[in-house]
Amino acid sequence: MRKEIKMANQIARFFESQPGDNAAAVAAHINDNWSPTMRAELLARTEDPELHDLVRAALPLLRGVVRA
């Protein structure tokens, strides 16, 4: 498992037990604490089957995402 996926999944597991918009919380944490390079590495692996569903839900909220 890639480092970025492992880290993102750990963040998701923490926030899934918290109240509120969990996907937004995951995205906010990643946006605030990860470099653009790390976010790009994660975004390059959106199809990885190991990616937590909550991370998938947070992906459109990450800075650097190009919206069509």
Give the Cα separation of 29 and 38 in Å (integer). 13
The answer to whether residue 46 sits within a structural domain is yes
Give the Cα separation of 52 and 43 in Å (integer). 13
The answer to whether residue 9 sits within a structural domain is yes
Give the Cα separation of 39 and 31 in Å (integer). 8
Give the pLDDT of residue 63: 86
Question: Band of the pLDDT at 68, cuts 50, 70, 90?
Answer: very low
The answer to whether residue 67 sits within a structural domain is no
The answer to whether residue 68 sits within a structural domain is no
Give the pLDDT of residue 21: 96
pLDDT in tens, 15-56: 999 999 999 999 999 999 999 999 999 999 999 999 999 999
Which domain range does residue 19 map to?
3-61
The answer to whether residue 34 sits within a structural domain is yes
- How many domains does the structure of the chain reveal? 1
